[in-house]
Amino acid sequence: MSTARFTELVENLPATVPFVGPDAHMRASGRAFRARLGANESGFGPSPKAIAAMQDEAAQAWMYGDSECHDLRMALAAHHQIAPENIHVGEGIDGILGNLVRLLVAPGDAVVTSDGAYPTFNYHVAGFGGALHKVPYRDDHEDPAALLVRAEQVGAKLLYFCNPDNPMGSWHSARIVQRLIDAVPEGTLLVLDEAYIDAAPEGTAPALDADDTRVIRMRTFSKLYGLAGMRIGYAIGAAPLIAMFDRIRNHFGVGRLAQAGALAALHDQAWLAHVKTNLDAARKMLGEIASDNGLHALPSATNFVTIDCGHDGAYARKLVQELMSRDVFVRMPFVAPHDRCIRVSAGPPTELAVFAEVLPQALRNI
């Protein structure tokens, strides 16, 4: 009997995914979460106008979405005051990262990232046979200088940098990020992941220069816009680079409802401001909960707070397990020394109250 002939690359990849999703966790336990605080979703929800737009569009779901995402691209261009040719809309930042790696990374090509940074990027690089080169964080921040040195040393095709950072919630100023862009080695493209930029303080994002060929910037509707379930994000880059996505992207990958929801969400900046206000309060509440339990909340420019448990990775993993056994979903960084921490989404007050109730119980059981 004939069998599928897998590529040698795929045969040798680990049979794992970067994350176990929250729904898979609930199936395994047979119970719903009391507090869903592990995936950096927005528990404050999307704009009511976005919900209405998706409801209105639902009757048209029998049609494929606009393959060019025309209306959303035009609106994003106006929002950022750049040309639509500088914008690519895709299936969330994860989907765009996968296509970017496919565009630029052949087997053996060098790619540089931080050790412990977003694992989905690493997953895509491994899937196309790229060679990952990692540098450590410095004081819970990604280290731009070390990243540049390593990119120069290995002749990196891509240099991945997330600002604000996941999983630590730390950030660098726009001045430092611009210095990183200016110093990118010849032949290296800086992948500037700005998934959390809407949660960051003023002065975190450098000015947009959409025609700068040294950098591609990633934004998303999954975080503060509250559309994680729609899988929609966008990239900003030089027009020749953006045009290359048309050669390999899934042209109908972004559905009609996602486009309608994102367009309405973009136009409702008042809702985004409302979410930011709630987010500020949630981050403050998480800091107080951590302090009340003898833990330390790290400063955050994201929609989550990383909490230092004051011990090692084994202790933090046990804490995560204890919280999960009590139906509170949180995650933690994977790499030492960051794995001394847990990471908690800045959710609505009702869910944070559950976390406050359960955390001391979990700590007593370690």
Six-digit token string for 178: 């611009």
Mean pLDDT of the chain: 97
At 14 the pLDDT is: 83
CATH number of this structure's domain 19-45+270-364, picked from the four choices 3.40.50.1980, 3.90.1150.10, 3.20.20.140, 3.40.50.720: 3.90.1150.10
Q: Which residue, 287, 305, 288, 47, is CA-closest to 199?
A: 305
The pLDDT assigned to 247 comes to 97
* pLDDT for position 18: 81
Share of the chain above pLDDT 70, in %: 100
Of the candidate ranges 16-25, 226-235, 285-294, 325-334, the one whose mean pLDDT is the lowest: 16-25
Q: Which whole number is the average pLDDT over 78-103?
A: 98
Tokens 């040309």 locate to 83
The pLDDT of residue 23: 95
Phi-psi region of 276 (alpha: psi -120 to 50; beta: other; left: phi over 0): alpha
Q: Lay out the sheet containing 158-162: strands in order across.
A: 87-90, 233-236, 215-220, 189-193, 158-162, 110-114, 131-135
d(CA 192, CA 41): 20
Please report, as a single letter, which amino acid is at residue 83.
A
Give the domain ranges of the chain: 19-45+270-364, 49-267
The matching CATH number, chosen from 3.40.190.10, 3.40.640.10, 3.90.209.20, 3.40.50.720, for 49-267 is: 3.40.640.10
Question: What percentage of the chain reaches a pLDDT higher than 90?
Answer: 96
H helical segments located in the chain? 8-11, 22-29, 48-58, 70-80, 92-104, 119-127, 144-154, 174-182, 239-244, 256-267, 269-292, 313-325, 349-364
* Rounded average pLDDT over 226-248: 98
CB-based contact 112:134 (threshold 8 Å): yes
- For residue 159, the cross-strand partners are 112, 190
Q: What is the pTM of this model?
A: 0.96
Evaluate if residue 16 carries a pLDDT over 80.
Answer: no
Tell me, what's the pLDDT at 275? 98
Report the distance separating Cα 41 and Cα 18, nearest Å.
Answer: 17
Split at pLDDT 50, 70, 90, the class of 310 is: very high
pLDDT band at 2 (very low <50, low <70, confident <90, very high): confident
* Higher per-residue confidence, 157 vs 14: 157
